[in-house]
Amino acid sequence: MLWETLSAARDLGRLHEIASVLIRWGFGDTVRRLGMSHALERAGRALHFKESVTLSDIEPPERVVKALEELGPTFIKLGQLLSTRVDLFSDEWITAFETLQDQVKPLPIEELQEEIEAVFGADPNLVLERLDSEAFAAASIAQVHRARLKTGEEVVVKFRRPQIEKQVEGDLRLLNRLAEIAEHNITELKRFQPVEIVKQFAQSLRRELNLEEEGRNAERIAKSFVDDPNVVIPRIYWDWTCEQVNVQEFIRGTHGRKLLLQTDGAFDRRELARRGGKAILKMVLVDGFFHADPHLGNLIALPGNRVAFIDFGMVGRLTSLRKDQVTDLLFALVKKNPPAVVQVLRMWVEERRPIADEVALLNEVDAFLDHYHGMTVGDLDMSSMIKDLIAILRNHALILPADLALLFKTFLTLDGVGRRLDPQFNIVLEATPFLTSIIQERYSPTNLAKRAIENTRDSLIVLNELPKEVQNLVRSAQRGDLQVKMELNRLDRFGHLLDRAVSRLTIGIVVAALIIGTAVVTATQQQPELFGIPAWGFLGFLIAALGGVWLLISIWRGNRD
């Protein structure tokens, strides 16, 4: 029960606030079905189910966004995460979630004194030559101030907001319980897998709360581009970076949004789009560790058409197997190979649930790729292809693993940014050299030989261990410890139905036998009479009639069940 989750008075107050906001934006029925009103009533708090906002002209996606904004940092971050789930939500919902802006009023520098002293010591002037009192950026989790070190380096200092961790943990606790209730009690929400979404969200948000983690992300990506002078990642100053504070190099340049307004020709936008696109594709297809939010606000143009990336709070991770699968999918899309596309999709979606109708899925993918028949690689629109493919998955109620949903969202963001900088930008053209190189390397004689050696080694290990495993199996059988576990869904109910059917059949046979036997007995003359009827015949027909009535009642009740 939700009531059991309310372990503190603060949880109770926050639950009341959440319920009130949802009701105000027209989600009173959801509040009831989640048991929030019941939990609050038990605590002696009443809810007024009257919407105070005129909702007739506001569409559901916009109402959800307004509610998330009003509920504060945790819920704004949740909406931003939902904007990455292109496999779950249609375009109108994704567009609405993307409008969530994580902009809040910055705290006065005086309220950050504890964080400042914890990092720079009791006298920050020993380390800092200057620390701007005014923040130049502020979000729900942290705010950023410019500063200069005593050694002369220009830096930015990101401070985590005081007490934000406690607030977030309380919200996550409530969200987790509400997600469990929603998944079990609200049928239309089950396909969205609220428990899994909240789990993914909690992991992502806790990483983002740790500003030291952001520094590690930046440094890992920086190592990948150490030999590429066209891609710049800010340096992290580890002497003054910790969980609450992140100190990094200040990148002086032109931010992406301002770049769109420039007309002086200082930058070649086409070259910037190409270099930025190649950098993200390398992170994804080669490194398997990528900046997952490459929008214009996180890009800075530098002299010489170099590209700098900032803000590494949200990153994506791909295992070696995932990288191979992504490469195979993109290659199959470019080559318009429906069976290969379905093969990769099968591997992905069957991690959650089997494909109900694979033939129908193959036909839809075939028709989808046929739409691009005859187009050259340069004419293909990867953004449209991904959106169409995800729409097919939604039609079949198939859900991608969270890491892949984030990846596809990154591709769509990259494609949108590239086209804003250069209308001729084509992510397929940029990705093709990576895909070709990866495929060629995968099937090169050296790698084939290497995999053959590895497979042979693994097989020898298995063969070497096989006698021992068989011996352990035999010993378990001898001791009586060997158990075979079988799970048959609804077996108990099937057994009950079978038992009831056999009982009915038995009674039916007995009744039929009584009727036949009684008819035979009644035909004989030497027997006592009862009410002028042969006594044994009367008794037999009476028992048969009672059995028949019982049988009819049993069948009628069984049909109602």
Could you tell me which of 138, 190, 134, 187 has the C-alpha nearest to residue 159? Answer: 138
Mean pLDDT of 189-199: 81
N-to-C CA span, the chain: 29
Tokens coding 159: 């401070």
Measured over the CA atoms of residue 511, residue 513, residue 514 and residue 519, the dihedral's sign is positive
Strand 306-309 with 231-232, pairing: parallel
pTM for the structure as a whole:
0.71
Alpha-carbon distance 390 to 399, whole Å?
9
List all residues 6 or more positions away from 461 whose beta carbon is below 8 Å from its beta carbon: none
Paired strand residues for 307: 231, 301
Provide the percentage of residues in the chain whose pLDDT is more than 90. Answer: 18
Cβ neighbours for 245, distance < 8 A, ≥ 6 positions apart: 115, 118, 119, 157, 158, 159, 160, 211
User: Quick one: CA torsion of 104, 110, 116, 122, rounded to 10 degrees?
Assistant: 180
Give the count of beta carbons closer than 10 Å to the beta carbon of residue 143: 21
Distance CA 384, CA 192 (A): 23
Query: In terms of Cα–Cα distance, which of 303, 295, 314 is closest to 209?
Result: 314
**Could you tell me which residues come within 8 angstroms of residue 454 by beta carbon, excluding any fewer than 6 positions away?**
none
Closest CA to 159 of 105, 98, 106, 230: 106
Angle at which helices 194-209 and 73-82 pack, to 10 degrees? Answer: 120
Nearest partner of 342 among 377, 366, 310, judged by Cα = 366
What would the two tokens of residue 511 be? 């009744």
Tell me the percentage of the chain whose pLDDT exceeds 70: 78
DSSP per-residue letters across 242-278: -SSEEEEE---SEEHHHHTT--S--S-HHHHHHHHHH
Half-sphere exposure of 425 (CA within 13 A, CB side): 25
Least confident of 7-21, 297-311, 413-427: 7-21
Q: What residues contact 232, with CB distance under 8 A and at least 6 apart?
A: 251, 300, 302, 306, 307, 308, 309
Q: How does residue 306 score in pLDDT terms, banded at 50, 70 and 90?
A: very high
pLDDT tens, position by position, 243-287? 999 999 999 999 888 888 877 778 999 999 999 999 999 999 999
* pLDDT at site 277: 92
* pLDDT tens digits for range 6-18: 555 557 778 888 8
The pLDDT value recorded for residue 388 is 84
pLDDT (mean) for 374-378: 69
pLDDT at 405: 82
pLDDT computed for residue 552 by the predictor: 65
The pLDDT value given to residue 7: 52
- Distance of alpha carbon 88 from alpha carbon 104, whole angstroms: 29
Q: How confident is the model at residue 215 (pLDDT cuts 50, 70, 90)?
A: very high
Residue 520 pLDDT grade (very low, low, confident, very high; cuts 50, 70, 90): low
For residues 242 and 119, is the Cβ–Cβ distance under 8 A?
yes
Question: What is the mean pLDDT of the segment spanning 403-429?
Answer: 87
Distance separating alpha carbons of residues 20 and 47, to the nearest angstrom: 7
Mean pLDDT for 476-487 is 67
What pLDDT is stored for residue 47 in this prediction? 65
For 299, phi then psi, to 5°, come to: -120, 140
Average pLDDT of span 484-489: 56
Give tens-digit pLDDT for 542-553.
776 776 676 666
Of 229, 298, 301, the C-alpha closest to 266 is 301
Residue 121's region, left for phi above 0, alpha for psi from -120 to 50, else beta, is left
- Taking residues 431-442, what's their average pLDDT? 85
In angstroms, the CA 65 to CA 125 distance is 43
- Which whole number is the average pLDDT over 436-464? 78
Q: How is residue 68 written in tokens? A: 């998330």
